[in-house]
Structure 1
């Protein structure tokens, strides 16, 4: 089986007839209806959407065979996946996270940094996580400035490491402020 891509996550039960909140990770929230059965992460359980309607920032959905609130509550937190080949092709400079994971991370000079471990989004934009050859894991903004080149065919991403963040250094902490008491 090809790589699985997470397209949605089941949330809390909604009402008493087996509906759930469904958080989709697709550009069009209703695209999850076009992929056929959705799979649990292990690929063993399948979920077939029966209905879906738009709510404030999610869908309210029902799945075939789920008819009670108790059954719906047991689904809370399950991530739903589809095989990569069922997803639409990407445009230039567009990537599925799964396409990036495992790529070599190199500097602009071609020096090896490590491998792409994950892509995260905590609400302020995408972050690329690099498992380095040595040292601590790096979390960097996934921006054109930090990741100027993605070469999926070549199996690598180019990373332009940002300069140190400006801030107080140890010597400034002991100096008196200008015009004030020490």
Structure 2
């Protein structure tokens, strides 16, 4: 069903916290403290593996101790490091309408009649809800649609595609008063 070589971005290390080697981590997990449940985390730095030994939630970040990091200088060197886990280590979503973004990337996007629009290239959220970005491989154009059930009614992970119902433009959908 999923590509086992995919990694999922779990968080990003920020500034050092204090003088004993703690770091701030911005988690991208539903439960912020869950980032500590996945054991060693891969990073975007070759050869660097991070193991969180202790953590606590502080507002919207995690304050964490990392194995082998004992002073502020070492903690500062990790600023900006992204933390990843292999997709295969994550549980399957419990709800049929929940998906990991990584599972959707690269899926073919089709209209109801089977016409291919392109492939899913991103799932941005600019604050008003998730969007789904479809890239047309021939023209290189991208299209953004709301990632809601009315617009994306069917997702077929095993078959490698999803269905898009293109919403009517607000002006096209309005009827003229009599």
TM-score (norm 2): 0.86
Paired residue secondary structure (1:121): coil
Look up the SS of the partner of 1:66 in the other structure.
Answer: coil
1:123: Cα distance to partner? 2.5
Matched, 1:79 2:79: no
The residue aligned with 2:130 is 126
- How many residue pairs get aligned? The number is 167
Residue in structure 2 matched with residue 10 of structure 1 by the alignment: 13
Structure 1 residues 113, 87: closer, same or farther in 2, change over 3 A?
Answer: same
Runs of at least 4 residues off by over 4 Å: none
| C-alpha distance in 1 between matches for 2:135 and 2:45 | 24
- Structure 2, unmatched stretches of 5+, are 173-178
Distance in 2 (CA, whole Å) between partners of 1:128 and 1:162 is 13
Residue 164 (structure 2) pairs with residue 159 (structure 1): yes
Work out whether residues 43 and 82 of structure 2, in 8 Å CA contact, stay in contact via their aligned partners in 1. yes
CA distance change for structure 1 residues 16 and 158 in 2, over 3 Å: closer, same or farther? same
Larger radius of gyration: 1
RMSD of Structure 2 on Structure 1 (CA): 1.8
The 1:121–1:46 alpha-carbon spacing in structure 2 relative to 1, beyond 3 Å, is: same
CA distance in 1, matches of 2:166, 2:47: 41
Q: Indicate which of 49, 55, 58 corresponds to 2:58.
A: 55
Cα deviation for residue 128 of structure 1 reads 1.1
Aligned to 1:136: 141
